[in-house]
């Protein structure tokens, strides 16, 4: 059980870490980029994070429900409740990513610094709106998980 909690907490830390990074700097930095730099950054991030982050997400997507099942004997316990909240928050993050960010990523990947739509800023703003929803879910889920681990 402790090893599973550790794996889940470590994976969730990577997910929430990205959300904190965007909250502290990356979100505002992207808003100030011109089209060529934004397109290049977005495509490089997708290329470099895609495969690595899949492993992290799959690990947490498996370990989170498993922790809920293992602690479900005491559904009134703080541990179960915080693990359940973290699991739900993770699934919200993944849902928004699949329905919002990933389709926009695919669209942006078809652009080049020299060939992009005139309204590219609208796509960037939409991508950031979806990501802000994901930030809320990821940070709330991670904090819930931490509360459960520390106080449960």
Is this model's pTM higher than 0.75 or not? yes
Phi, psi of 115 (to 5 degrees): -135, 95
Across 21-25, 70-74, 121-125, the highest mean pLDDT is recorded for 121-125
Phi, psi of 68 (to 5 degrees): -65, -45
User: pLDDT tier at 50 (50, 70, 90 boundaries)?
Assistant: confident
Which pLDDT tens digit goes with each residue over 12-21?
999 999 999 9
Is pLDDT above 90 for 119?
yes
Which pLDDT tens digit goes with each residue over 124-148?
999 999 999 999 999 999 999 999 9
pLDDT of 68 = 96
As a whole number, mean pLDDT of residues 58-84 equals 95
Is pLDDT above 90 for 51?
no
Assess contact for 82 and 145: CB atoms under 8 A.
Answer: yes
Task: Classify 112 as helix, strand or coil.
Answer: strand
Distance, in Å, from the CA atom of 3 to the CA atom of 127, rounded to the nearest integer, reads 35
Question: Where would I find the H helices in the chain?
Answer: 2-21, 27-31, 35-71, 78-96, 102-109, 120-151
């Amino acid at each position: 059980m402790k090893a599973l909690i550790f794996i889940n907490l470590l994976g969730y830390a990577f997910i929430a870490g990205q959300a904190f990074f965007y909250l502290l700097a990356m979100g505002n930095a992207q808003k100030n980029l011109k089209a060529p730099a934004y397109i290049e950054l977005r495509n490089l991030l997708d290329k470099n994070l895609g495969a690595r982050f899949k492993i992290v997400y799959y690990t947490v997507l498996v370990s989170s429900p498993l922790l809920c099942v293992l602690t479900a004997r005491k559904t009134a316990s703080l541990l179960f409740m915080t693990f359940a909240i973290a699991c739900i928050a993770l699934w919200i993050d993944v849902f928004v990513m699949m329905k919002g960010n990933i389709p926009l990523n695919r669209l942006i990947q078809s652009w080049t610094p020299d060939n992009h739509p005139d309204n590219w800023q609208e796509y960037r703003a939409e991508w950031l709106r979806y990501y802000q929803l994901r930030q809320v879910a990821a940070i709330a889920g991670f904090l819930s998980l931490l509360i459960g681990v520390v106080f449960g």
